[in-house]
Amino acid sequence: MKKIIMTPNPYRDKDFQTVRQAARILAEAGMEVRLCLPFEVDRSYDLPKDLCFSRLDKELSDADLIICFGGDGTILHMSKTATRAGIPILGVNIGTMGFMAELESTELEQLRRLANGDYTVDKRMMLDVTVFRDRDILFHDICLNDVVITKGAVARIVHLAVECDGVEAMESGGDGVIVATPTGSTAYSLSAGGPIVEPEAHSILVTPICAHDVGSRCMVASDRRVISVKLTRNARRNAYLSVDGGKSVRLNMGDVTIIKKSNLETNLLRLKDRSFYDVVNQKFRDSR
């Protein structure tokens, strides 16, 4: 590792204290550090005058690693950019759960191991999401956690039909449906009653949200399957699609959302030798 980009969440890391400490440790280990904001900061927020921020797009070409400081949301936000650039991510948790983060803010000394190549890379499956309106592509993206199709803010039921390789698999009336990767199994899908799935599993999870039909249950499909979701004929209103918690897209009757395994994978860098179940036990215990 030679050049490392650090992307702090300024709303999580007060006065960038964690980032400052990490930058010092990395510099002492002989690594070049660049500081880039992962998203646009509100104009009313005053960035420290003593820190130099670079543009992320200019630093990606020769970077070896991106370190994200924040919660899982910060990692999810950076996962697409990092994956498309072929750069691994290491997460430092300054949030609440932090399932995808490798280090807590109290474990920054572990970063010294990067200089000696003392790490492993964990490959995470992503989903490819395309929304078709007639024959036109309305929306296309990739995601690391999940695709969520919901009724929106209005208190009503949305009726969705889910097909697997063109065969009807589920028709659900309720708040919506979550289509998740194994990585996303511990996020919204879990809250909606879905199972915990190992990140290395080759599967796609379909979890109804507050289903009105008691027969609607979570479905675990092979990652070779193509999932399609559309509003059924008795759906009188619109639905909304969101990928990894991003900005929602309005869906009309007739729109078809096609979800399948992406050809891209997110590479999460690991410094500690621990089981996925150790992480699950720790995170749920600490959240009590």
Which residues are catalytically annotated? Answer: 72
Q: How is residue 272 written in tokens?
A: 């500690």
Report the SS3 class of residue 175: coil
For 87, phi and psi rounded to 5 degrees? Answer: -115, 135
Q: Indicate the SS3 state at residue 76.
A: helix
Tokens of 91: 């997460």
Phi then psi for residue 21, to 5 deg, are -65, -45
CA atoms within 13 A on the CB side of 1: 27
Rounded distance between C-alpha atoms, residue 201 and residue 124, angstroms: 10
Residue 141 near residue 148 (C-beta atoms within 8 A): no
For 133, what's the count of Cα atoms within 13 Å in the CB-facing half-sphere? 9
Task: Count CB neighbours of 270 within 10 A.
Answer: 15
Burial class (CB in 10 A: 0-12, 13-18, 19+), 245: middle
Find out whether 90 and 103 touch, Cβ atoms under 8 Å: yes
Amino acid sitting at position 240:
Y
